[in-house]
Amino acid sequence: MMEEVNEVTSSLSVHGHNIKVTEVLKDGDTLTFLVVSQKLSGTGEYHVDRTYDDFEWLQQHLFSQEDVPGIQGVIFPSLPAKAQVNASAKAMKQLGFLGLGEWLPYCKALESFLRQIVAHSILGKNKAVEILLTSSDPPGRQRVKKNIFNRLSQAVEERRKEGHKDVDEFFQSERVRNLVLTGCAKTAAERFLDVVQSEQKIAVACGHFSASLHLCVEPGEDPDKQAFSKVCVKLSEVFDSMKKNMTSVAENNMNTLGLGLDMESRCQEAEKEMLFRRTCKLVELETARRNAEKAKPLKKAAMEEEKKAAETEFDHICGVAKQEVARFKAARVEMLQQALVQWCEKQLLTAKETADQFNQHLQAFRGMA
């Protein structure tokens, strides 16, 4: 199957920029996402059901394109962690923003994952992408074996190689910067998540308050009592609109800047991985060089061969990586800018609407006898 995919190098039959993950269906414990893409030819649309496994399958395929030179220099778009229906608190925490709001942000994240892949000059050419987007058969149902990008092995190696002195100034500084940014982005996303969660709690509390204000309504003809009841009902309305306001503020936060920060955090993570892979290759190359130097004449030729191969591969990786870093930087700035602008606009809109509502309530109260 893998071979099949790799053999076909034709480009996609769909528009990459408006791929959408529109719906999420809960089927028992599994979540099924509806992926919609527009055909290049004509006006038709592809509607396909995909599970998380399918996305994972796609990612594995992209990782394992060993025939593409310098593939390890690519910053792979990061696939969000697996979403589960009844996830543990820890798993939810790992998901961060993506776990909020009935999986809507998660769909968004998957959507941008797909779009990034399609837009990528190397990854978009992979046939697996086409299959995922258009094939009516879900491709990822059979298990794929974990390959070299297994995260577990990475984690072990990481400590040893992360601090390795780089030969290239550019990459050295990029690694330092990336390390800082990864940390910062992650904290910022987490803090922002806290903010959103507090806002959601406030919304809930306002809702409760609003509801229980209705209980204070007393029956009876007594004008004083009626006046108080009226006040309660009105106040309940006020708190209801406060609740709505808070809800939409939280939603805005979540869907714009929240997602943006999450994405930023994961992208930095992906860049870090790429840089790490490159560092690994560098270490590999250095070892090969040392081996070639020390090698006994008998093995010298083979060692030289190996060294050469490593050198070319490393060069390839470096070349791709440089391009990738430049592309990545531009992309993330644009992404963050969009997130900020959208966020600001939405919040502005919400704030204005809310102010209007409050004003109406205020007038209503003032008008009350």
Task: List interacting residues with another protein (CB under 8 A).
Answer: 177, 180-181, 184-185, 187-188, 190-192, 194-195, 197-199, 201-202, 205-206, 208-209, 212-213, 215-216, 218, 222, 224-225, 227-228, 231-232, 234-235, 238, 242, 329, 333-334, 336-337, 340-341, 343-345, 347-348, 351-352, 354-355, 358-359, 361-362, 365-366, 368
Complex with another protein: residue 40 or 368, whichever CB lies closer: 368
Distance, CA of 361 to CA of 283 (rounded, Å): 68
**Cβ of residue 100: shortest distance to another protein, in angstroms?**
15
In this complex, which beta carbon is closest to another protein, that of residue 85 or of residue 341?
341
Q: CB of 152: closest distance to another protein in angstroms?
A: 29
When the beta carbons of 40 and 349 are compared against another protein, the nearer one is: 349
Q: Smallest distance, Å, CB 344 to another protein?
A: 5
Residue 124 or 207 having the CB closest to another protein? 207
| Cβ atoms within 10 Å, residue 183 | 12
- Report helix, strand or coil for 43: coil
CA separation (Å) from 174 to 178, 180, 185, 230? 6, 10, 16, 64
In the 8-state DSSP scheme, what is residue 147? -
Instruction: Classify 173 as helix, strand or coil.
Output: helix
Distance between CA atoms of 66 and 300, rounded to whole angstroms? 27
CB of 146 to another protein, least distance (A): 33
Q: Residue 335: in which H helix or E strand, if any?
A: helix 297-367
Residue closer to another protein by CB (options 219, 297) is: 219
Whose Cβ is closer to another protein: residue 156's or residue 215's?
215
What's the token pair of residue 365?
Answer: 């109260």
Distances (CA, A) of 3 to 10, 64, 118, 141: 14, 11, 20, 17
Residue with tokens 């270490």: 283
How far from each other are the two terminal CA atoms of the chain, in whole angstroms? 77
Q: Are 31 and 51 in contact (CB under 8 A)?
A: yes
Of 77, 105, 130, 33, whose CA–CA distance to 328 is shortest? 77
For residues 218 and 232, what is the distance between their CA atoms, to the nearest angstrom?
10
CB 96, min distance to another protein, A: 14
Of residues 22 and 197, the one with the C-beta less far from another protein: 197
State in angstroms the smallest separation of the CB of 161 from another protein: 23
**Which of residues 81 and 336 has its CB atom nearest to another protein in the complex?**
336
Minimum Å gap between C-beta 181 and another protein is: 5
Q: How far apart are CA 279 and CA 161, in angstroms?
A: 7
Nearer to another protein, 287 or 363 (CB): 363
- In the complex, minimum distance from the CB of residue 81 to another protein, in angstroms, rounded to a whole number: 21
| Residue 266 CA: distances (Å) to CA of 37, 270, 299 | 24, 6, 44
CB of 350 to another protein, least distance (A): 9
**What is the smallest separation between the CB atom of 89 and another protein, expressed in angstroms?**
18
Q: Which of 107, 115, 108, 123 is nearest to 75 (CA)?
A: 123
Q: In what order do the strands lie in the sheet containing 20-27?
A: 20-27, 30-38, 45-51
Cβ closest to another protein, residue 74 vs residue 213:
213
Cβ proximity of 79 and 59 under 8 Å = yes
